[in-house]
Amino acid sequence: MYCPVCKSELSGDLQTCYVCGSDPKDSESETKEWVMLGIIEDKMLADLGLETLKSCDIPAVLFSKSGFFGNVGLPLAPFHSNSSAGFEILVPQEYADQADETLEMTLGEKWHRKE
């Protein structure tokens, strides 16, 4: 079974997706188009950005590009390359512009919107 919102693989009979918090059985959540808005390279700033979006009632999901998930393995440097860690912020399409403005004000030059 996969989450209809973030497409994460789910196991068991979950009431909410452990990644994005949506109800896997909610047909309305299937209609939301989620987009990868941009990348934040620092874990603390990524967490700050995520919490800021949530405090503004903007649904958001944070994915680690380093190969680690959650808080395991800090500082979360990728084990498969020499590049810095990266954290992708995903939001529903309808919130993309509002989320971008919020992250720009919060993180400044540390925020990199996907072109």
Count up the domains in the chain and report the number.
2
Share above pLDDT 90 across residues of the chain, in percent, rounded to a whole number: 22
| Interior angle at CA 58, CA 84 and CA 40, nearest 5 | 10
Confidence class for position 70, pLDDT limits 50, 70, 90: very low
Answer whether residue 35 shows pLDDT above 80: yes
41 shares a domain with 71: yes
Q: Are 4 and 30 in contact (CB under 8 A)?
A: yes
Model pLDDT, residue 102: 95
d(CA 48, CA 29): 25
49 shares a domain with 97: yes
Looking up tokens 């079974």, which residue turns up? 1
Here the CATH number for the domain that contains residue 91 is 3.30.70.260
Model pLDDT, residue 8: 74
Model pLDDT, residue 63: 81
Model pLDDT, residue 42: 83
Answer whether residue 88 shows pLDDT above 80: yes
Identify the domain containing residue 26 by its residue range.
Answer: 1-32
Residue 103, token pair as written in the block: 């992250």
